[in-house]
Chains A and B, each alone.
Chain A
Amino acid sequence: MAEFNQSRQITIRLIIAIVFAIILVRLMTLQLFTSKYAKLANDQAILRKIVYPSRGIIFDRKGKAILDNVTMYDLMVTPSQVKGVDTFALCRILEIDTAEFKQRVLTAIIKNSRNRPSVFEALLSPAKYAKINENLFRFQPAFFLQERPIRSYPFKAAAHLLGYVGEVDSGMLKRSNFFYQMGDFAGRSGLESYYEKVLMGQRGIQYILRDNFNRPIGPYENGDFDTPSVAGRHLNTYIDIEVQQLAEKLMHGKVGSVVAIEPKTGGIIAMTSGPTYDPNELTGSESRKNFSRLFVDPASPLLNRGMQGVYPPGSTFKPLGALVALDEGLITPSFGYPCFGRYGPCGRPACTHSNAGHAANLSLSIANSCNSYYAHVLRMALDNKKYGNIEGGLMKWKEYMSGFGLGHRLGIDLPGEYSGYIPDTSRYNKVFRKGGWSSCTIASLGIGQGEIQATPMQMANAMCLIANRGWYYTPHFVKDIEGETKEDTILNKYRQKIAPLHIPNDYYQAVIDGMEMVVTNGTARNAAIDGYAVCAKTGTVENYFKGKKQQNHSFFVAFAPKDDPKIAICVVVENAGFGSTWAAPIASLLMEKFLNDSIAGDRRKAEIDRISNVVITPARIRYEMHRRDSIRQAKDSVQRKRIRLDSTAIGFVRSATTLPPQQPKRELPQRVNWFAILPADRFNFYTYTQPQQRTA
């Protein structure tokens, strides 16, 4: 009977063919016409890991490493393996309690899931590291130590210059065109930032296969697609770390700055800003805390006053004024001016003078810092017939200032340099209206007061120009880069001599002679160094804060030796009084340290201790500190009141919780999406609305 149904084999064969055809078509759509699965597979299975090279090291002029890479250790935990670990022993070593332990494990799970390692304690202190390393076998495999290279600063100095390395923020991510990624570390200020590309080296990329629990299982394709990392290159700088340390010691307790430059190269020997901080504070586990403390400090320790502090240069400006007048042919080195202590010709006492000296010739006028002389010299320059009216004269004068490196950024190799300010005609036209001002109105410019503003860096650079008799190199820190090639163009601009002015050597000589007299028998006799001809100029700068006159800034510029200049320096001590009192001895000690490598004589050594122990806090900062303390006090008292209120409120809440509020019965409609009818915060469903605050 079966033979009758033989034709049915065709139906069955057809069914089989149809089933296979459907499967094949489906496979085609999945494998040939859908591309998303390939991406999904790689996304979940291949981890793109960036390999960070070690950062380059920065050396000082004598080859000492002023910063270094040290390896610290993070204690890592894999939460899924914690069971069975001797928790007590670990807690004893880390000095935490078991509640804290549980909390940290929980945080790790939330952050990074159970199966992936997370940081349990970052940057272990050496003592804890030693103890844990010894006992690690007791905590493995749940806990392990992971290397983490960080910066260390063996000299605890030069914080402002070196800058710090920190996590990149969102602004930086965008600016870098997403070269950096979230969580990357990069130089955030100072040399670390300016030479970031050199120091960072080249990041490598590793592709790692991972499994369904996100555990790495090995390199992808034997690492054929990986790029190796290239270590960062070292920097050799002009910094003399011992001078830098001494400068920071001398500036201790004071607000101000020291900038020392080698005139022949433009290399910066030292640059301090007081108050400063230990750069080690911004690395390691406490860095965030320390940063915020420094950030809100009223004395702004994060500000690098060497290039970001702008001051009227005061009398230290006088040698420049003399050079302008000499070059314009308005005076000769033998030009003299009666110095009566007040400047009369303008009808009213324009320049008060606290050092009534003699100004029989140029040298003496510098040595005795005669205000009238320089007010007069400035007026001569401004009213020069050659340039028509005063506006022409002022513009010419500004041109000279620009040639001296004032009023614009020098372009040093630190980010965030300030430009200072040299006023021009538009400024005065705005303040006094056009034609409403004369050389008398602005005569104080001649003695470096008034609208003129310069950074200590600019003044030190101007000293270089004088010491070199007419030229300078843009001040910079880095001498050369390890393995420098033609492609490293970053240093090119520092190797070009800048000589914008063509003032004859004789005029420089005259001014330099005057500056030498400042030390030999002028205002700064305490700045002399045995065996060296020091040329200098003091400054005592009047200044105002919110319209209120403050104690004078103590200014001092100098270079030495006279004929073969090796160091030019500018010292500013804010609100410390006469230039000769504080700034001059500081500069003198630093120059001696640099020239002789040591300080000679017990008297000089005692001087170091004397200066470094003096604390001079400007009144405005004292006021700010006081204000901050008062606010904190007020806040504390509010807080205390609050706590009292809270304790009554707690009693109130407790009585409320004894009667749980009635939940309205929910009627469930047919065929509804559950997520739509559940409240947005489902987990908080049973919290009741806060009762109204009772008014006492």
Chain B
Amino acid sequence: MEKQATIGKGVDTVTVLLYYALVMVGFIAIFSVEFRMGDSFVQSLLELKKNYSKQVLFIGISSLVAVFVLLTDSKFFTAIANLLYMGGILLMLLTFVIGKDISGSKSWIALGGGFNLQPAELCKVFTALALAKYLSRPETEFKTLRSHLIAFALTLGPAVLSIAQKETGLALVYFSFFLVMYREGLPAIYLIVGFSFVVLFISSIVLSFYVYAGALAFIVLIVIYYFWRQIKRNFVLLAALLLVYFAVIGFKWFVDNVVFDKVLKPYQAERVLNMFGKSYVPKSPERIALFEKEQASGKKKDYTYNVKQSKIAIGSGGFAGKGFLKGVTTQGDFVPEQHTDFIFTAIAESFGFWGSALLLGLYFFLLYRIISIAERQRSTFSRVYAYSVACILLFHIMINISMTIGLMPVIGITLPLLSYGGSSLVTFTILIFIMLRLDADRNMVLR
């Protein structure tokens, strides 16, 4: 109980400093997006009308939350992990009933006073706790298929709900837990298969049908050549190989006709294909009708506008950048959603390559620090949790920055600690400070 007198004891100072450095960078970026020459800085800060002034409030709330988290007993988290997880799932289900529609996704719950809560954000924390709790159970033997499936269900459940809420970006983040599970002994084959599907997906977009089928046939022939002896002994292998071959070709058909034409929305399909220099050609009759209607009305929206402007903003920054508040693309509001999902463009335009590289360095340092923290834990719970933090952050950073520089399709996902928004900031604060609390008690064995 004497711990409460010194909450700072054992807390990793480096991580806290990195956290505040990133939050400050975020504030500067949001400020540069919204502030115009001649605005009264102090007044708008006090009136809470501008996003940057609200962000100051969010930073304050986050600091308060951080203190509360640090004041909590570590055992509390292990005790309540499952409960929180269930609560989180319930909240997400609740959004289907009382959800508020914000920019096309019904994933928000109004808190009153103009503030909204996005349960899917918070659920990342709860899932991390639940996964840690499950993997740290003494009776869990993380080698059996059964345990793997339970872990998958735990992590992918919220992902499915997120997709149902039309928050594809957040759903993707839940796949980061596979990396955590890999660390905890999940066979590498899962990751390899997953990665193979990504490669197949991309090549099915990039390659035409004949090149795709031909290239795969070539690979199959090589495999047959090298494993000829085994195959001679057992022709079932050959049959299996051919089955896989046709399944993979079927995958291309599936991607072309089902994924792009049925699963993805036209604008999503357009954005994904645009990344590879292709344009979306609808095939199903209803899509064709829709496309024709858009063409005829002459009001076809340019779904690639965001990424075009984002690339212009980043590319025009050059090495040195244009200087604080001097980015013409930023000042002219050319990049949509610049204060939230595209906040990176503001940094890249104003501070150029060195600024972006410095920011990436901060993130890189933070991730490596968290992994070091994870590895020094004595209890599995803390380690799994810390790894979850690192992997969630990694996925957020990777997806967000890649989408701004045109490496990934545009998916609504925030840049951790930088993007404007209370839900996002508070979530990441809780995420990181729970880890710091656990780390402070790393000599305790938690279950």
- Chain A residues in the interface with B (C-beta under 8 A): 1-2, 4-6, 8-9, 11-13, 15-17, 19-20, 22-24, 26-28, 30-32, 34, 36-38, 40-42, 44-46, 209-212, 217-218, 220-221, 668, 670-674, 678, 682-683
Contacts and interface: CB of A to CB of B under 8 A. Distances in A.
Contacts of A682: 295-296
B112 interface: no
Given A9-B375, A37-B316, A38-B318, A45 B329 contact: yes
10 contacts: A16-B394, A23-B401, A27-B314, A27-B360, A31-B314, A31-B352, A41-B328, A212-B332, A217-B332, A682-B295
Given A24-B357, A37-B312, A2 B184 contact: yes
B331 to A, nearest CB: 6
B182 A40 contact: no
B360 A20 contact: yes
Nearest to A211: B332
A38 to B, nearest CB: 4
Contact of B183 (A8, A19, A217): A8
Given A5-B183, A46-B328, A674-B295, A16 B368 contact: yes
B304 to A, nearest CB: 14
B353 to A, nearest CB: 4
A28 B353 contact: yes
Given A2-B380, A30-B405, A217-B36, A209 B142 contact: no
Q: Which of B316, B349, B394 has the most CB of A within 10 A?
A: B316
B148 interface: no
Contacts of A31: 314-315, 317-319, 348, 352-353, 356
A211 B33 CA distance: 12
B232 interface: no
B315 A19 contact: no
Nearest to B141: A1
B380 A27 contact: no
B65 to A, nearest CB: 27
A180 B291 CA distance: 45
B238 interface: no
A30 B315 contact: yes
B360 A1 contact: no
A535 B408 CA distance: 94
B283 A32 contact: no
Interface in B338-379: 348-349, 352-353, 356-357, 360, 363-364, 367-368, 371, 374-375
B7 to A, nearest CB: 29
Contacts of B295: 674, 678, 682
B314 A37 contact: yes
B328 A668 contact: no
Given A19-B398, A20-B364, A23-B407, A45 B315 contact: no
Contacts of A15: 179, 394
Contact of A26 (B37, B38, B407): B407
Q: Which of B326, B329, B387 has the most CB of A within 10 A?
A: B329
A26 B357 CA distance: 11
Given A1-B185, A9-B183, A210-B332, A23 B402 contact: yes
Contacts of B315: 30-31, 34, 36-38, 40-41
Contacts of B401: 23
B89 interface: no
A39 to B, nearest CB: 8
B281 interface: yes
Contacts of A42: 316, 328
B348 to A, nearest CB: 7
Interface string B400-422: 01100111000000000000000
Nearest to B334: A212
A388 B356 CA distance: 94
B271 interface: no
Given A23-B405, A27-B353, A38-B316, A12 B371 contact: yes
B328 A220 contact: yes
A32 B348 CA distance: 12
A16 B334 contact: no
B363 to A, nearest CB: 8
A209 B328 contact: yes
Nearest to B326: A221
B401 to A, nearest CB: 5
Q: Which of A20, A46, A218, A678 has the most CB of B within 10 A?
A: A20
Nearest to B183: A8
Contacts of B37: 218
B301 to A, nearest CB: 15
A41 B313 contact: yes
List the 3 closest pairs (A to B, CB-CB), nearest first. A37-B315, A41-B316, A45-B328
A78 B24 CA distance: 40
Interface string B59-81: 00000000000000000000000
A41 B348 contact: no
Given A9-B183, A41-B312, A683 B296 contact: yes
A211 B183 contact: no
A9 B370 CA distance: 11
Given A24-B360, A217-B332, A218-B38, 16 more contacts: A2-B184, A2-B380, A9-B371, A12-B387, A13-B371, A20-B364, A27-B314, A27-B348, A31-B348, A37-B312, A41-B315, A44-B312, A211-B331, A218-B37, A220-B328, A682-B296
A19 B380 CA distance: 27
Nearest to B377: A2
